[in-house]
Amino acid sequence: EAGVVQSPRYKIIEKKQPVAFWCNPISGHNTLYWYLQNLGQGPELLIRYENEEAVDDSQLPKDRFSAERLKGVDSTLKIQPAELGDSAVYLCACSFVLEGEQYFGPGTRLTVT
Amino acid sequence: QQQVKQSPQSLIVQKGGISIINCAYENTAFDYFPWYQQFPGKGPALLIAIRPDVSEKKEGRFTISFNKSAKQFSLHIMDSQPGDSATYFCAAGAWGKLQFGAGTQVVVTP
């Protein structure tokens, strides 16, 4: 079974530029998560989807961050405009059911200069 | 507000030794307590998890001890191997929503 796929793996952009991250979860996993992981810290939840519905986006900075999960499969996380403080690893995870084991992708390392 | 506190921040253990990592939580509604292992450049991977109806769970060399009254849980890595060198995160949550600790970097020396 293929794992969680994320792209790109690395991204370097200048501040104020837009950036997008893509995630393809494990087939059949209806719950999808986006996490932010700062250096030396644990993951922090940004948004959680049940199929195509965002059921928890309370930690998503909505002034510059947006996400979508069309058709309840792939998901895209966007930042516009990026700030220096957005430099971090963005992790996508999924689970088969709401309280099931979460499987993480390798993450996208974003550097904002 | 950090809801899950993890210690130590780092530890060095000799091959064959025992690694012990501790976590404490505040929210009594939490009912799921997983431990994740993360290697550089990789995403976290689930090692072992426990629910509050048991006080201990063992899988191979990894054991979780859980103290509901103290709101604490710990990971014991027995017979530590160099391949265990990684960062370990505890987490706690309910209904699929997890709060992670800050992580412990474990180095196992040959």
More confident call, B2 vs A27: A27
Contact A91/B at CB under 8 A: yes
Q: Residue A59 above 80 pLDDT?
A: yes
State the DSSP code for A102.
P
Question: Is A15 within 8 Å of A112 (Cβ atoms)?
Answer: yes
Q: Do B96 and A31 touch (CB under 8 A)?
A: yes
Q: How buried is A9 (Cβ within 10 angstroms: 0-12 exposed, 13-18 middle, 19+ buried)?
A: exposed
Q: Do B43 and A106 touch (CB under 8 A)?
A: yes
pLDDT at B91: 97
| pLDDT tens sequence across A100-112 | 889 999 999 999 9
Write the CB contacts of B39 (distance below 8 Å, at least 6 apart in sequence).
Answer: B86, B87
Task: Give percent of chain A above pLDDT 70.
Answer: 99
Q: Residue B27 above 60 pLDDT?
A: yes
B52 dihedral zone (left: phi>0; alpha: psi -120 to 50; beta): alpha
Q: Indicate the residue of B32, B34, B102 with minimum beta-carbon distance to A41.
A: B102
Task: Give percent of chain A above pLDDT 90.
Answer: 90
Largest CA distance in chain B: 41
CB pairs under 8 A between A and B: 51
Q: Residue A88 above 80 pLDDT?
A: yes
Contact B41/A at CB under 8 A: yes
Tell me the shortest Cα–Cα distance from B16 to chain A, in angstroms.
Answer: 26
Question: Is B19 within 8 Å of B109 (Cβ atoms)?
Answer: no
pLDDT at B1: 56
Give the integer Cα–Cα distance in Å for A6 and A83. Answer: 22
| pLDDT tens sequence across B52-87 | 999 999 999 999 999 999 999 999 999 999 999 999
Task: Give percent of chain B above pLDDT 70.
Answer: 98
Place of tokens 């063992």: B58
Q: Indicate the residue of B44, B45, B95 with minimum beta-carbon distance to A43.
A: B44
Contact A45/B at CB under 8 A: yes
pLDDT at A67: 97
Mean pLDDT confidence for A1-7: 89
- According to DSSP H, which parts of A1-113 are helical? none
Amino acid at B12: I
Mean pLDDT confidence for B93-104: 92
Please, which pLDDT band fits residue A70 given cuts at 50, 70 and 90?
Answer: confident
Give the integer Cα–Cα distance in Å for B68 and B30. Answer: 10
φ, ψ for residue B16, nearest 5 deg = 90, -10
Q: Indicate the residue of A99, A101, A107 with minimum beta-carbon distance to B43.
A: A107
H or E stretch including A21? strand A19-24
Mean pLDDT confidence for A40-54: 95
Amino acid at B43: G
Give the integer Cα–Cα distance in Å for A95 and A48. Answer: 11
Q: Residue B2 above 70 pLDDT?
A: no
